[in-house]
Chains A and B, each alone.
Chain A
Amino acid sequence: MTEYLSVKNVLIERDDRLLFKGLDFTLSSGEVIQLVGRNGSGKTSLIRTLLGLMPDFEGDLFWKGQPLYQQRDDFFSHLLYLGHKPSIKSALTAKENLEWLVAPYGGVSETQIESALSQVGLRGYEDVECHSMSAGQNRRVALAQLYLLDLPVWILDEPFTAIDLSGVAQLEARIAEHAAQGGAVILTTHHVLDIPTVKRVNLDDYMPGAHASGGDHGG
């Protein structure tokens, strides 16, 4: 079992407001971690910190036991990140979007893209420009990457946004399958996940006591 990510005693501030402190968890192969917490509790900030996009924090982050920020190249070549914006170009077709999204991880064939699209319920939409699809369909184009790329660690920020019920169930199944095959997943969502092995990390538990009384500030 590989220990991929480990977060030790991490404190994150945003705009001089303390989001959480003393956060500890590890992500090993076969695990699914669901980050929960009220709006503005710092779920996205934590993810952006892990990705090195928000490098101001205190504490230690490790990738396979080494300091994370020194191992960025190895981390990024084993990571599939889907942000809360789907990063889909509306003027390009579904197929063209997937082509550029997966290219840095090595080539995939056209048939692989077509089969990934049909697995997210977009058969027949390969050559449709994304601006004529719904928000949920755009999200599904991005999610097709989960069937297309063979990367061990997934970080998914609100992957269920705009996805219908059957799509959510299918996505949960895909996440569980990935974990069963030795992958590791961190995701943020307010859904109650139907995955038995899911480990919940509640950021509200790491909120500094002085702020605990008022949950309505900021946001």
Chain B
Amino acid sequence: MAADLGFSALLKRDLKLAFRQKSDVINPLMFFVMVITLFPLGISPDPNELAVIAPGVVWVAALLASMLSMENMFRSDFDDGSLERMLVSPLPGFLIALAKVINHFLVTGLPLVIVSPVLAYMLNMPSEAYGVMMITLLLGLPTLSLVGAIGSALTVGLKRGALLLPLLVIPLFIPVLIFGTGAVQGVIVDQPVSGQLSILAALLLFSLASAPFACAASLKISMGNG
């Protein structure tokens, strides 16, 4: 009961902070749009060539954009003492982690999913693939937030952890990227994609069941060093 209250209060607090400071919402979105805009300029404006690379470009850009704000998932709470305070409250650590992950997905991931069809159109992706692309992003980006939260929690106590985080988490993002782009490409060449989508869903469920606990343990380690 009290834990529910604490969880929803934390979620509400973080959403309020995100929409008051805005940069957490706008920066990843701008990054996503700008990176994708560069590809036609850098590679070729030829629509057929762009259609071939479109699934991969959208997915890689979404992955990097989502990582942009990952480093800050726990940073400001660590700096102002609120993280310490949360960890010694009756709110269990995995619920703190889960609230942070949900917030990261809602603030960073969901806007990317929403604008992705516009960018796919710009890259001349066949329109029948839009639906599957959005589904892969909806399944994949929360997985990235969950896995990234562990890395973010581990590096939050370090003074110069900025480059360590990508090194830690990008290898773990690779399966999501492979199955995400694989499914979108499958639709384009008219192959069944339910296999890839099932694997993406399985990855999401697996990380949902394990990452919050790993993240809570990582936070304790980081506090011990801080």
Measuring CB to CB, which residues of chain A are less than 8 angstroms from any residue of chain B? Answer: 48, 51-56, 73, 76-77, 79, 81, 83-92, 96, 99-101, 103-107
CA distance A92 to B21 in the complex (A): 10
Q: Quick one: which of A51, A76, A86, A107 contacts B90, CB cutoff 8 A? A: A76
Q: Quick one: which of A56, A77, A88, A103 contacts B9, CB cutoff 8 A? A: A103
Known contacts A89-B82, A92-B16, A100-B13; decide if A51 and B89 are in contact (CB<8 Å).
no
CA distance A165 to B130 in the complex (A): 65
CA distance A76 to B95 in the complex (A): 15
- In the bound complex, do residue A104 and residue B89 qualify as a contact, i.e. CB atoms below 8 Å apart? yes
- In the bound complex, do residue A84 and residue B2 qualify as a contact, i.e. CB atoms below 8 Å apart? no
Interface residue tally for chain B (C-beta within 8 Å): 29
Known contacts A53-B84, A55-B224, A103-B6; decide if A96 and B90 are in contact (CB<8 Å).
no
Would you mind naming 29 contact pairs between A and B with Cβ atoms under 8 Å apart? A52-B220, A54-B223, A76-B88, A76-B90, A77-B2, A79-B88, A85-B79, A85-B81, A86-B80, A87-B81, A87-B84, A88-B82, A89-B13, A91-B16, A91-B17, A91-B21, A92-B16, A99-B13, A100-B12, A103-B2, A103-B8, A103-B10, A104-B2, A104-B3, A104-B5, A104-B91, A105-B89, A106-B1, A106-B5
B160 at the A interface (CB under 8 A) = no
CA distance A56 to B224 in the complex (A): 8
- In the bound complex, do residue A87 and residue B13 qualify as a contact, i.e. CB atoms below 8 Å apart? no
List the A side residues contacting B86 at CB < 8 Å.
Answer: 104
Query: What 1/0 mask marks residues of chain B from 18 to 41 whose CB sits below 8 Å from any chain A CB?
Result: 001100000000000000000000
Closest Cβ–Cβ distance, residue A113 to chain B (whole Å): 12
CA distance A105 to B46 in the complex (A): 60
Closest Cβ–Cβ distance, residue B19 to chain A (whole Å): 10
CA distance A71 to B136 in the complex (A): 43
Q: Which residue of B lies closest to A73 (CB)?
A: B90
Closest Cβ–Cβ distance, residue B48 to chain A (whole Å): 48
List the A side residues contacting B68 at CB < 8 Å.
Answer: none
Known contacts A53-B223, A91-B17, A99-B9; decide if A104 and B90 are in contact (CB<8 Å).
yes
CA distance A92 to B19 in the complex (A): 11
CA distance A157 to B2 in the complex (A): 25
- In the bound complex, do residue A104 and residue B6 qualify as a contact, i.e. CB atoms below 8 Å apart? yes
Known contacts A51-B88, A53-B223; decide if A105 and B2 are in contact (CB<8 Å).
yes
CA distance A26 to B21 in the complex (A): 45
- In the bound complex, do residue B88 and residue A89 qualify as a contact, i.e. CB atoms below 8 Å apart? no
Q: Which residue of A lies closest to B219 (CB)?
A: A53
Q: Beyond the given A85-B84, A105-B6, please list 15 additional residue pairs across the A-B interface where CB-CB is below 8 A.
A: A51-B87, A54-B224, A81-B85, A83-B81, A85-B79, A89-B17, A91-B16, A91-B17, A101-B85, A103-B5, A103-B6, A104-B2, A104-B5, A104-B9, A104-B89
Query: What 1/0 mask marks residues of chain B from 194 to 226 whose CB sits below 8 Å from any chain A CB?
Result: 000000000000000000000000001001100
CA distance A107 to B1 in the complex (A): 10
In the A-B complex, the 6 residue pairs with the closest CB atoms: A85-B81, A104-B6, A103-B9, A87-B81, A104-B91, A87-B82
CA distance A177 to B20 in the complex (A): 39
Known contacts A83-B84, A92-B17, A96-B16; decide if A105 and B10 are in contact (CB<8 Å).
no
CA distance A73 to B12 in the complex (A): 24
